[in-house]
Amino acid sequence: MKFLPVFIVSAVLLSAVATQAQAAAPQNAATASADDYSGMYSFLKEGEFVQVTIEGGKVSGFISRFGDSDADKGTFLDQFFKSGKSDGNQLSFTTESVHGVSFTFDGTFSRGPGTTGDDEAYYLLRGTLTRLSMNAEKKTSSQERTVEFKSFPRDAAPR
């Protein structure tokens, strides 16, 4: 008869542990799927970057790049997002036009080779970047390319 009380105590403890694990599971699942992709990412050339801020599916940010037209060659330009949308790991945005140039982006975030948020390329932003250019005659041309932008370390300044 000693076996029965030990069995009951073990069953009660096992039940309590299982209940505790079930209560913690939704919190852990929510934490695991709630990656914070906000931050700075490389852009097309060394020294250029994209700043992305995501809050509740709303996206804001800007591209900081070197001008490449005759009028702004070598000048640092900031192009703020005119619109943006995020859904899970999906991201799309359109920038304001600066000196007749704007950008659209459509792509996804994924984990990169970095092991922590303090590493470069902890996240990668891959997708299609379209550059829209308007010439003096107001004629628009577009150039589309596949890109991969690497996240900067969380507490690092742009390079």
Same domain, 139 and 100: yes
- The tens digit of pLDDT for each residue in 131-152 reads 999 888 889 999 999 999 999 9
Q: Is the dihedral of CA 148, 57, 142, 51 positive or negative?
A: negative
What number of CA atoms fall less than 13 Å from residue 60's CA on the CB side? 2
Convert the pLDDT of each residue in 81-133 to its tens digit: 999 999 999 999 999 999 999 999 999 999 999 999 999 999 999 999 999 99
Give the pLDDT of residue 154. Answer: 87
Mean pLDDT of 2-8: 45
Whether the CB-CB separation of 38 and 54 falls below 8 Å is answered with yes
Place of tokens 């945005």: 93
The verdict on 59 and 117 lying in the same domain is yes
- 22, containing H or E segment: helix 3-33
Q: In 3D, which of 120, 121, 127 has the Cα closest to residue 103?
A: 127
Confidence check: pLDDT of 2 > 80: no
pLDDT tens figures, 15-48: 443 444 444 433 333 333 458 999 999 999 999 9
Q: Which domain holds residue 27?
A: 1-34
Q: Are 108 and 87 in contact (CB under 8 A)?
A: no
Residue type, 91: L
Are 27 and 56 contained in the same domain?
no
Q: In angstroms, rounded to a whole number, what is the distance separating the alpha carbons of residues 22 and 85?
A: 33
- Whether 8 and 63 map to the same domain: the answer is no
pLDDT at residue 156, as a whole number: 58
Give the DSSP letter string of 128-141.
Answer: EEEEEEE-TT--EE
